[in-house]
Structure 1
Amino acid sequence: MRVDVACRAGHGGSEEPVAFTLGERRVRVTEILDRWPGGDHLYFKVRGDDGARYILRRDFEILVWELEVYEASTDTYGE
């Protein structure tokens, strides 16, 4: 699912997500939990301000971001 992502310069000057839009809702990234390369993609596992965890994928070839995985928060602490 393609998503609009706001970014800032991160490690080594590469972009890292700070917020993204799901439909009409804007989710602020509160923590980057992990990141890893995968071919022509860069993956970010992030926690949103809603407590949920997401995996966002940046496609370098066609220059788009996609939501790969969504995992709702299971408790009040977002774990």
Structure 2
Amino acid sequence: MFLDVETRPGLHGDKEPVAFMLGDKRIEVVEILDRWIGGDHSYFKIQTSDQATYILRFEPLLNRWQLTLFKAHF
């Protein structure tokens, strides 16, 4: 699932997520829990304002974000 993601410059100037749209709902990133690079992609494990954990994948060559994992916390 591709996403519209708001970003800011990270530590080395790379994009990091601040918020994203899921349907018509804006979800804010509360904390970046982890980040790593895999091939041509950057991955971000994030805690969000809806008390869930997501993993987002960023493809810099296409400037495209994708949702790769969602875990709800009850």
TM-score above 0.5: yes
Extract structure 1 runs of 4+ deviating beyond 6 A: none
Q: Secondary structure at the match of 1:12?
A: coil
Structure 1 unaligned runs (5+)? Answer: 75-79
Structure 2 unaligned runs (5+)? Answer: none
Equivalent-residue separation in structure 1 for 2:69 and 2:22 (angstroms): 13
Residue-pair matches, total: 74
For residue 43 of structure 1, what is the aligned residue in structure 2? Answer: 43
> Would you tell me which structure has more strand in proportion to its own residues?
2
Q: Secondary structure at the match of 1:11?
A: coil
The alignment's TM-score, normalised by the length of structure 2, stands at 0.96
The alignment's TM-score, normalised by the length of structure 1, stands at 0.90
Which structure is larger by alpha-carbon Rg, 1 or 2?
A: 1
Equivalent-residue separation in structure 1 for 2:11 and 2:39 (angstroms): 18
Identity across aligned pairs (percent)? Answer: 50
For residue 26 of structure 1, what is the aligned residue in structure 2? Answer: 26
For residue 14 of structure 1, what is the aligned residue in structure 2? Answer: 14
Q: Tell me if 1:53 matches 2:53.
A: yes
Q: What RMSD in Å do the two structures reach over aligned CA positions?
A: 0.7
Equivalent-residue separation in structure 2 for 1:5 and 1:52 (angstroms): 16
Equivalent-residue separation in structure 1 for 2:38 and 2:60 (angstroms): 11
How far is 1:73 from its partner?
1.1
